[in-house]
Amino acid sequence: MNVFTELTLPNGATLPNRIAKAAMEENMADGNFSPSKQLLQLYKAWADGGTGLLITGNVMVDSLAMTGPGGVVLENDKRLAQFKRWASTGRAKGAHFWMQINHPGRQMPGDLGQQTWAPSPIAVELGKLSKHFNPPREMTEVMIEEVIQRFIRTSQLAERACFTGVEVHAAHGYLLSQFLSPRTNKRTDQWGGSLENRARLLLKIVSGIRAAVSPDFAVAVKLNSADFQRGGFSQDDAHHVVIMLNELGVDLVELSGGSYEAPAMHGRSLDGRTLAREAYFLEFANDLQKVARMPVMVTGGIRRLPVAEQVVESGVDMVGIGTALAIDPYLPRAWQQGKQNVPEIPPITWNNKPLASLAYMALVKYQLYKHSVNRRARPNVSPLWALIRNQVDNALRSRKYRRKMAAITQATQ
């Protein structure tokens, strides 16, 4: 068995190989929160590149709750035709195409001008950067039920748009991850306290989606192996959540880790030589294989074929690749042709770790932008320049977002 061996999921669908394009924050929606022409061009490159599974960047279940100003939103069927074109583009060469669906909770930029909600009123702690996130209000029971229904509705719409599955984002410090973590969930009702209560929202969403979509439509979950913060979601917690998910017809669990406050998902190898450092969530994935009834995918730092092969040979079912595919969308095809391409971004060694994380994300987004206009990547571009460019772009998009939401509010009054 190798990375180009087929994988059959519990729902009976067969992925053509075991390489997945992991979700990345593209921020390439058009003015109506729908997939833009640039976004379709980007996914055409990935589809042509030979990846077996494509997972979209965040698709939001609520236009009032965004991870960024250029995010895609699917909350009704008004522009379903554009989503159908997106699905058709991603599936054109035989890849399966899943929509990652998400709600940011407290991790919503404050300059979007919307009220921030979370399981508990605990603000994001990022030192001087904390000012960019508004302190959240605690969600009511009514709001929690609305979020459940929004995840289910978006999944139904994704199936109607001809995506082959959805991935529920319960990692990286977003809303469902906030409910899972005792660090951010201080509730004393049925949604907080014990792990069973903290996992209740995720389990209700997953079971609700599974009941609302076709049996052959994949339902996956992205889960932190840990928050990497004292008092947060632990590896033991993740272990038990997967056991709970075993009963819900989940087709795959993707393991990652971290949050905005502790961005382990952007961690990288120090020397690029050892498997443990390059595939940095692998050890826990191997342990999880012992209890998971569904396939397990590990994402984090993988950029070389020998490492990807060792991940699969160790028993992990899927290899998720992000940054390397942002630089070289055709990487799987090159590997299959016997080439040993190793795309990477030079390390950012700034002392300010939150700022370095932002610069890293900006560098990745810049590579995505280049491919969206059918140009070659530039991984060696200055991280400071990429960060400034990204901040200016976000500021302009945020202004447009606020104007649009104000117009919608005025029209509904």
Alpha-carbon span 379 to 180, nearest angstrom: 35
DSSP 109: B
Interior angle at CA 317, CA 311 and CA 323, nearest 5: 60
Q: Tens digits of per-residue pLDDT, 13-61?
A: 999 999 999 999 999 999 999 999 999 999 999 999 999 999 999 999 9
pLDDT of residue 273: 35
Q: How far is CA 165 from CA 15, 24, 45, 183, in A?
A: 12, 17, 20, 31
pLDDT digits (tens, 9 = 90+) for 251-289: 999 987 654 544 444 443 333 333 345 666 777 788 888
Return the closest-CA partner of residue 101 out of 51, 40, 168.
168
Residue 227, pLDDT > 60, answer no
In the chain, the percentage of residues whose pLDDT exceeds 70 is 92
Task: Give 130 or 402, the one with higher predicted confidence.
Answer: 402
Predicted pLDDT of residue 150: 98
Split at pLDDT 50, 70, 90, the class of 230 is low
Residue 131, CA distances (Å) to 104, 109, 127, 336, 400 in order: 17, 9, 8, 47, 21
Cβ–Cβ contacts within 10 Å for residue 261, how many?
A: 22
pLDDT the model gives residue 174: 94
Q: What pLDDT shows up at residue 283? A: 78
> Mean pLDDT across the chain, nearest whole number?
90
Domain residue ranges of the chain, discontinuous segments joined by + = 7-412
- Judged against a pLDDT cut of 90, whether residue 107 lies above it is answered with yes
Model confidence at 93: pLDDT above 90 = yes
**What is the three-state SS of 335-350?**
HHCCCCCCCCCCCCCC
- Calpha distance 335→81 (Å, rounded): 34
Of 3, 209, 179, 4, the closest CA to residue 98 belongs to: 209
CATH topology classification for 7-412: TIM Barrel (3.20.20)
The pLDDT score that the predictor gives to residue 332 is 97
Residue whose C-alpha is closest to residue 225's, from 273, 262, 272, 194: 262
Mapped onto helix, strand or coil, the DSSP state of residue 314 is coil
pLDDT digits (tens, 9 = 90+) for 146-203: 999 999 999 999 999 999 999 999 998 899 999 999 999 999 999 999 999 999 999 9
In this structure, are residues 366 and 386 in contact, taking their beta carbons and an 8 Å threshold?
Answer: yes
Report the sign of the C-alpha dihedral through residues 47, 50, 51, 52, in that order: positive
pLDDT of res. 412:
76
For residue 231, the model assigns a pLDDT of 58
Q: 301-347, pLDDT tens digit by residue?
A: 889 999 999 999 989 999 999 999 999 999 999 999 999 999 999 98
The span from the CA of 368 to the CA of 298, in Å, is: 22
